[in-house]
Amino acid sequence: MRPRLRDLGIEIGALPTGRHNAITDVAGVLVGHATVVRDEPTVARTGVTVVVPRSGDSWTEAVFGGWHNFSGNGEMTGIPWIEETGLLDSPIAITTTHQVGLVRDALVKLAVEQGGVDAFHLPVVAETWDGWLSDADSFPLTEEDVRTAFASAVDGPVTEGAVGGGTGMICHEFKGGIGTSSRVVESKSGIHTVGVLVQANYGRRDDLRLDGWPLGRLIDKDEVPSAWDEPPNGGSIIVIAATDAPLIPIQCQRLAKRVTVGLGRVGGYGHDSSGDIFLAFSTGNRLAPGGDPWKVDVMPMSDMDGLFHAVADATEESIINALCAAETMTGQKGRTAHAFPVERVRELIGAR
Amino acid sequence: MRPRLRDLGIEIGALPTGRHNAITDVAGVLVGHATVVRDEPTVARTGVTVVVPRSGDSWTEAVFGGWHNFSGNGEMTGIPWIEETGLLDSPIAITTTHQVGLVRDALVKLAVEQGGVDAFHLPVVAETWDGWLSDADSFPLTEEDVRTAFASAVDGPVTEGAVGGGTGMICHEFKGGIGTSSRVVESKSGIHTVGVLVQANYGRRDDLRLDGWPLGRLIDKDEVPSAWDEPPNGGSIIVIAATDAPLIPIQCQRLAKRVTVGLGRVGGYGHDSSGDIFLAFSTGNRLAPGGDPWKVDVMPMSDMDGLFHAVADATEESIINALCAAETMTGQKGRTAHAFPVERVRELIGAR
Amino acid sequence: MRPRLRDLGIEIGALPTGRHNAITDVAGVLVGHATVVRDEPTVARTGVTVVVPRSGDSWTEAVFGGWHNFSGNGEMTGIPWIEETGLLDSPIAITTTHQVGLVRDALVKLAVEQGGVDAFHLPVVAETWDGWLSDADSFPLTEEDVRTAFASAVDGPVTEGAVGGGTGMICHEFKGGIGTSSRVVESKSGIHTVGVLVQANYGRRDDLRLDGWPLGRLIDKDEVPSAWDEPPNGGSIIVIAATDAPLIPIQCQRLAKRVTVGLGRVGGYGHDSSGDIFLAFSTGNRLAPGGDPWKVDVMPMSDMDGLFHAVADATEESIINALCAAETMTGQKGRTAHAFPVERVRELIGAR
Amino acid sequence: MRPRLRDLGIEIGALPTGRHNAITDVAGVLVGHATVVRDEPTVARTGVTVVVPRSGDSWTEAVFGGWHNFSGNGEMTGIPWIEETGLLDSPIAITTTHQVGLVRDALVKLAVEQGGVDAFHLPVVAETWDGWLSDADSFPLTEEDVRTAFASAVDGPVTEGAVGGGTGMICHEFKGGIGTSSRVVESKSGIHTVGVLVQANYGRRDDLRLDGWPLGRLIDKDEVPSAWDEPPNGGSIIVIAATDAPLIPIQCQRLAKRVTVGLGRVGGYGHDSSGDIFLAFSTGNRLAPGGDPWKVDVMPMSDMDGLFHAVADATEESIINALCAAETMTGQKGRTAHAFPVERVRELIGAR
């Protein structure tokens, strides 16, 4: 069992975490993975991660959400509707670039089959590119993988690292993948939780920082080889932020924008080739699309600062958690993405 | 007393109007004008129009709002905050291009003096350019004019035509200015009013349509000379839309975007030189910025179609009302903007 | 052979059309359709339309583009990258809502196979919903259909009506589908063409206007039954605008926004259930993504007014052309969408 | 003479600076200040800073620009036009919140007087709030101050700290103000400079970091009192980024967005009360608004990564430079904003 960042003695920010230090600390949020690792007929190191915004009613009631496009070399379906109305009425999936479409249509099928959706559905599916380790051009994912990820969605601890959509990902030239973290925030509006989940596949090693400390430069590439033999051209990060604070869409957009702070502090710059796309949603209100006028709770704008700290800090920690959890993986063409050397990092931390 | 569009026998759309067919039909909305027409020391044909979103509490409680930038060759202050939070916490003013700043700071002073605002304030002031009739480069407006407009803000019928901010404006090559209209909409969410006020200073005569009918081409320039001796280069239109339907900011943005439909039907194209900027707000909720968690009423998205028709239709009618009301005006350099020939139009309508 | 709008004696606006009055009048733009009409194993009235921005080099060189989200209840993939950089480097496809994903991944495959794309690709695929006539929940489209549409893309006249992505669509309660039109514009920057292609699936009959004339109200539902037995809940329109005027991305966004004017004049309001999403691109510059510094021709902003008229007028005419071309179609559950009664319309026009 | 950050032995990032480590390292960019410090008739600690994008032709030729609204509790005029066309055709001014209007209209006057502008002008004026030290409600700035700032604009070294618009500002609870920095970047497109100027008035001390190192927490408030006796409610930061890399507007927007990374690394979170608004412009092309078709040089998107590092790093350094330069200031009501203790910081750095 590999340590998480906190097991190395480093805490990001001053706010406490939720129970599992995971996006699932926001009540009702579920996470499921389908991990596809096989060498035949093609080398696949890929998968799907599904985040369900609200257990129980996810097909029939919407939550409010908002997105931010920090660096747009990526894909997230479902954007026009979220941008127009701030309604998120589907499970969210994160996967590999080439098969966003398969995953998206599979979610539509699930909506038709399970949700009693009788017209149309505009699911949110985002991606980062795993084609360095995985033979992405063989299109290895199937609809069944999406069903598996959805069916396995649960609350409680979230498996991190090279799982689900994060299976084949690379981050700061180490093995990357899925990471998560959460924060508990108190304000005049009460006590709320912010949870973050990332699919981390971006960045240069030299830019990597742990709580501000420029660790990346201290890990020599002779010691731990870089996953890249050349400058990365497929880096990206998808960040999903959830909160039970009652936010309206414009506030979800605010929250999504502040993800940038956490990413920037770890070492993200929004490179040209990077699709750094963030989605935030609030479980604080359930909206029945065709029903009676809505009565909505809203946190006043001036109470939001704690949420902004929380989302930045939890993003930072989620990325490092993804690094900590992911083990060394060898994929197609003999390529190896080496794990973040957690024991060496522990030593370096001790010697600071 | 010049007729309004309805007095000519033309109604736009199927929805009924409010009592005054004016933005003030939305309860609590007030409108005031300061009109500056003088020939010494410089030729001034200018002014300020103030729209107060909520009588009584406009300094201490905000309403939700949203904007749309259809054609950005213009100015509206206050945009970053409205874009970020959707809170509109100031009176709105519309004036002449060169003196947006004077009007904006004057509203800050009013906030300091009357509102007990102890920190800062980001008022919304928009403009169109009256420098064809008015010697705009002499900066004729004063802070006192802003105070006059604010102090005169009332509900009930709204004076239209060459008044307030619309004093020196030109529209479809006729004399333009301020116009207003309203609609009453019924939906599952109840009965609501949408009111629109425009400061109309844009457009070519050949493009002018009355309820789709290409009237502009029928009014010969020998008969009624064009206000322009050359293609217009300062045209713009500001549209303020108000409703008592309880909308959150993202819905106000939706409403503001649909203004485009009404403008397009009259003959607006969003020309390069045109600042066609729209602001919509909802009086349906009062938000106390620093207070308790908000309880907010929200009209479900699927109930909004009536509002979309209402705002498009009321925009269309407001523009024509501005034309109908404005009388011929002579300004600087002997330039004359001729009135829209309402009696000739009545004949043409009869002969259709 | 059904008439187009011009064959009925109505011309929209003052600008001349291009040779074919089609989007393909913009040199290099190709259009292909795959039309899927069958009753077994499920009732399919669906398809795919592909627009290739530049024949010859579409896989290796990008063009500039920009989008506008007028009413977001729809899907268009590829948005984050277009929003970030304004680079359009893929064929565009328009199809049915439920199978956007299939079409999107199929374009990725084509990019891999034909284009020598070695990393990733973010194609643009948009949709409207054909599930009233077609059994959309049976997911009838296949990857092969996408290949067919792409392989059949040609210049010259474009087949309109119930073809390609427009096969199962409904517009203003008549049978809708694909329509196209073009305009030629002269400015100080030279002579340029603007072409538009729509997939029209929106609107109420009572709102339909022909060049401003409220024709829709004149066609009784006893005479020509409505396609809807209840208020439409799946309406949408996708508009693709192309020009050879050399525009940078921000200018393509300007052009896309002005599509709203044409749509509004025909009778579109951007209803809540409508995904009215517009994409504009310029073939005036070819951009080699990884190459030397770009030398780019740019039309000055002040020369763009002609393009704005052109795109509004061509959008208006494209929608009516879609109506004119589409023949009555019966689909699932015995439902029939009746053709726009062009001969009756001809009579009504004559009797105006 | 107080040291700048580099004099303390800390360099941000790996890129070299320009000659003066200032925004004026971008050829043609000028900076001027008017500093207003007086105690009668009211206590004024305020001013104006002017950034001229291109010496010589700033009234007659535009440059391309773009903005980003990271946290919108602030004002920047001129946004609709920059958002619509990406043309920046005015000097930029930064000042105090309450008098944005005065400064804005004064720039219009200068345009009329000096620039031969015969119609209208939409200048860019941004602000942060100095009302803790300065009696902002007395509206102390005059048009003459704006003229002074503009007339004093020069290239070469830029005065930093409590000068110009930064006079009364507070940053991370120390005295703040104006800071600047630059970077030189090499790419396949050649060698380019990125320069940044900030007006820094935001942030909590505990969040302040120097190159990632959490210095703020090490400076006890008993040792150096906080400028705030309560949580800040007026914090904001305006960032102006200039480059001679030839960028089109959408690329300027990209650059502006990456400013967030630098701000986040120093300790900015985009608090609710913070107006964190960024403007980037490129001097790489001069655009004559009414002239011939433009020939524009454009850096390919894939060459931009160096610029992204440069703007983030120079933003980070500019903020710390503002802190380093600003001396302790006492203002109204006996309030004192204490200087960042550079010698104590030097010791702390040495003892790391």
Which residues does chain B have with pLDDT short of 70?
A: 57-58, 115-120, 229-234
Strand partners, D297: C295
280-339 in A: which are within 8 Å (CB) of B? 287-303
Residue tagged 């109505």 (tokens):
C10
Judge whether D276 counts as a catalytic residue: yes
Q: What are the residue numbers of the active site of C?
A: 236, 274, 276
Radius of gyration of chain A (CA): 19
Return the residue in C48, C68, C84, C117 with the most chain A beta carbons within 10 A, the one to mutate for interface testing.
C84
Region D285-296 average pLDDT = 89
Q: Which of B90, B134, B181, B236 is catalytic?
A: B236
Cβ contacts of D102 on chain B, cutoff 8 Å: 101-102, 105
Q: In the 8-state DSSP scheme, what is residue C131?
A: T
Distance CA(D101)–CA(D73), nearest Å, equals 16
At residue C103, does pLDDT exceed 70?
A: yes
**Residue A69: strand pairing partners:** A277
Interchain proximity D271–A308, CB inside 8 Å: yes
CB within 8 Å: B272 and C312: no
Q: Which helix (DSSP H) or strand (DSSP E) does residue A14 occupy? A: none
Residues near D312 by beta carbon (within 8 Å), at least 6 away in sequence = A264, A269, D13, D258, D259, D261, D262, D265
Smallest Cα distance from C191 to chain A, Å: 34
Q: Are strands B92-96 and B124-128 parallel, antiparallel or unpaired?
A: parallel
User: What is d(CA A48, CA A36) in angstroms, rounded to the nearest whole number?
Assistant: 8
pLDDT category of residue D118 using cuts at 50, 70 and 90: low
Among chain B residues, CA nearest to C271:
B305
Each residue's pLDDT expressed in tens, for chain A with a length of 352 residues: 899 999 999 999 999 999 999 999 999 999 999 999 999 999 999 999 999 998 876 677 899 999 999 999 999 999 999 999 999 988 999 999 999 999 999 999 998 888 666 566 789 999 999 999 999 999 999 999 999 999 999 999 999 999 999 999 999 999 999 999 999 999 999 999 999 999 999 999 999 999 999 999 999 999 999 987 665 556 899 999 999 999 999 999 999 999 999 999 999 999 999 999 999 999 999 998 777 999 999 999 999 999 999 999 999 999 999 999 999 999 999 999 999 999 999 999 999 8
| Least confident segment among A225-229, C6-10, D300-304 | A225-229
Report which DSSP code applies to D54. S
Q: What is the mean pLDDT of residues D220-233?
A: 79
Q: Which candidate, A278, A295, A277, places its Cα nearest to that of A286?
A: A295
Q: What is the CA radius of gyration of chain C?
A: 19
Sign of the CA dihedral running D69, D70, D72, D73:
negative
Share of chain D above pLDDT 90, in %: 89
φ, ψ of residue A89 to 5 degrees: the values are -125, 30
Is A299 within 8 Å of B299 when comparing Cβ atoms?
Answer: no
Domains in chain B, CATH or no CATH each? 5-341 (3.60.70.12)
The C-alpha atoms of residue D320 and residue A260 are separated, in whole angstroms, by 20
* Position D36, amino acid: V
What is residue B82's predicted lDDT score, i.e. its pLDDT?
A: 96
pLDDT beyond 90 at C100: yes
C337: β partners: C329
Structure tokens belonging to residue B78: 């206050």
Written in H, E and C, the secondary structure of chain B is: CCCCHHHHCCCCCCCCCCCCCCHHHCCCCEEEEEEEEECCCCCEEEEEEEEECCCCCCCCCEEEEEEEEEEECCCECCHHHHHHHCEECCCEEEEEHHHHHHHHHHHHHHHHHHHCCCCCCCCEEEEECCCCCCCHHHCCCCHHHHHHHHHCCECCCCCCECCHHHCCCEECCEECEEEEEEEEEEECCEEEEEEEEEEEECCCHHHCCECCECHHHHCCCCCCCCCCCCCCCCCEEEEEEEECCCCCHHHHHHHHHHHHHHHHHHCCCCCCCCEEEEEEEEEEEEECCCCCCEEEEECCHHHCHHHHHHHHHHHHHHHHHHHHHCCCEECHHHCEECCCCHHHHHHHHHCC
Among partner residues D189, D254, D293, which is closest to C293 by beta-carbon distance? Answer: D189
Arithmetic mean of pLDDT, C312-317:
98
Q: Which residue of B has its CA nearest to A256?
A: B84
Q: Render the burial of B18-47: b for 16+ CB within 10 Å, e for the rest.
A: bebbbbbbbebbbbbbbbbbeeeeebbbbb
The nearest alpha carbon in chain D to A311 belongs to: D269
Question: Is the whole model's pTM more than 0.95, yes or no?
Answer: yes
Check residue A117 and give its pLDDT: 60
Residues with Cβ within 8 Å of residue C126, at least 6 apart in sequence: C74, C75, C76, C77, C92, C93, C94, C95, C100, C199, C238, C277, C279
Any idea what the Cα angle at residue D247 is, between residues D241 and D250, rounded to 5°?
85
Strand, helix or coil at A46? strand
Per-residue tokens: B97 = 């291009």
Mutate to test the interface with A, among B60, B81, B85 (most CBs of A within 10 A): B85
The Cα A116–Cα D126 span in angstroms is: 51
CB A246 within 8 A of CB A298: yes
Q: Do A298 and B300 touch (CB under 8 A)?
A: no
Distance between CA atoms of C238 and C72, rounded to whole angstroms?
11
Which chains contact C through at least 3 pairs of Cβ atoms less than 8 Å apart? A, B, D
pLDDT at res. B77: 98
Question: How many residues are present in chain D?
Answer: 352
pLDDT above 70 coverage of chain C, percent: 96
B280 forms beta bridges with B66, B241
* Contact call for C119 and A233, based on CB within 8 A: yes
Q: Which residues of A touch C276 (CB under 8 A)?
A: none
Residue carrying the six token digits 């020599």: A220
Q: Which of A335, A14, A338, A324 is nearest to A178 (CA)?
A: A324
Return d(Cα B307, Cα C79) in angstroms, integer.
28
Query: Which of the residues C85, C247, C304 would you substitute to probe the D interface, choosing the one with the greatest number of D C-beta atoms within 10 Å?
Result: C85
Q: Which of A77, A97, A109 sits opposite C75 (nearest CB)?
A: A77
CB contact at 8 A, B23 and B158 = yes
Contact B97 D139 (CB under 8 A): no
What pLDDT sits at residue C57? 65
Cβ-defined contact of C72 to A80 (cutoff 8 Å) = yes
Q: Which two tokens stand for residue B300?
A: 């479900």
Considering only alpha carbons, which residue of chain A is nearest residue C271? A84
A109:C71 CB<8 A: no
Token couple for A325: 């959890």
B260 in C contact zone (CB under 8 Å): yes
Task: Give every CB contact of residue B73 below 8 A, 6+ residues apart in sequence.
Answer: B236, B272, B273, B274, B275, D80, D81, D84, D85, D122
What gap in Å lies between CA A63 and CA A53, rounded to an integer? 8
Residues B108, B77: Cα–Cα separation, whole Å: 12
A296/A274 Cα distance (integer angstroms)? 36
Token pair for B235 = 């045209």
- pLDDT score of C332 more than 90: yes
Contact B102/D105, CB-based, under 8 Å? yes
Q: Please check whether residue C262 touches B, CB under 8 A.
A: yes
Contact A126, A75 (CB under 8 A): yes
Token pair 């957009």 is found at: A253
Say how far apart CA C34 and CA B297 lie, in whole Å: 47
Residue C233 has pLDDT above 70, yes or no: no
Do B130 and B96 form a contact (C-beta atoms < 8 A)?
yes
Facing residue for D260 by CB, picked from A211, A212, A264: A264
Per-residue model confidence as pLDDT tens digits over D27-64: 999 999 999 999 999 999 999 999 999 887 667 789 99
Q: CA-nearest residue of chain D to A306? A: D271
Cβ atoms of B185 and B245 within 8 Å: the answer is yes
Please list every residue in chain A whose beta carbon sits closer than 8 Å to the beta carbon of residue C101.
77, 100-106, 108, 125
| Contact between chains at A264 and D265 (C-beta distance less than 8 A) | yes
The answer to whether the Cβ–Cβ distance between A69 and C80 falls below 8 Å is yes
Chain centroid to CA A74: how far? 14
Q: A72 - beta bridge partners?
A: A275
Q: For testing the chain C interface, which of D252, D281, D294, D299 should be mutated: the one with the most C CBs within 10 Å?
A: D294
Express each pLDDT in D277-287 by its tens digit: 999 999 999 99
